[in-house]
Amino acid sequence: MNVVDQKNLISNLKKEGVLAVVTINDIDKTNYLCEALLNGGINMIELTLRTDNAFKIINHISKNYADITVGAGTILSITQLGKAIESGASFGVAPGIDPNVIEESKKLNFTFAPGICTPSDIQLALNYEINLLKFFPAEYSGGLDYLKSISAPFIQNDLKFIPLGGININSAKKYLHSNLVVAIGGSWIASNSLIVDCNWKEIEKRAKEMHKLIATVR
């Protein structure tokens, strides 16, 4: 099992600055995708569980690409949690917060970052000693200013966030300047349309643009 503990995951995310959020169902395209991201300087992926072959693809990446840390996205149930771990995911994330999934992840020593959007969500996560959280949907909820507002009462808990939702290359910089943000979720880098069209050059280009931006901020 390639699980990364919460402390090391936060460290890795802070170093890299971006988590490429990917939805892909074609295993044959996975190699091209991984090569494009790596060539662009991105080596952390959140692979969403929205396709039939998602777990197979996580397994393929974890076995064949040692330079990539792949996490399972959109974990909505204990069943999905178990399959993600079996597939070799290094960590898991979710759009919301489910105590049942959190408790099971704790039992299995699997690093899991639930999604939050309110102070109540944050407080619930802290009850489980989780301080790495996904902020979703970021831009549509009020962006960085809103995140600063809802996290302010918990400043003593050293919260760290992965904002995702509506962010692009133009809005990424403001998030990366914040001490609250360890990395942003980038779904535009390897969008569904680019993968379907096999436009690996554009994916590599977008990855390089993001990598260059991160270098200027951190």
Residues forming the active site: 46, 134
If you ran DSSP here, which 8-state letter would residue 181 be given? B
**Residues whose CB is less than 8 angstroms from the CB of residue 204 and which lie 6 or more positions away in sequence, other chains included:** 36, 37, 39, 40
Beta-carbon count within 10 A of 176 CB? 19
Question: Letter for the amino acid at 104?
Answer: E
Task: Give every CB contact of residue 207 below 8 A, 6+ residues apart in sequence.
Answer: 20, 36, 37, 39, 40, 41, 42, 189, 190
Beta bridge partners of 3: none
Cβ neighbours of residue 197 closer than 8 Å, sequence gap 6 or more: none
* Tokens representing residue 201 in the block: 């050059």
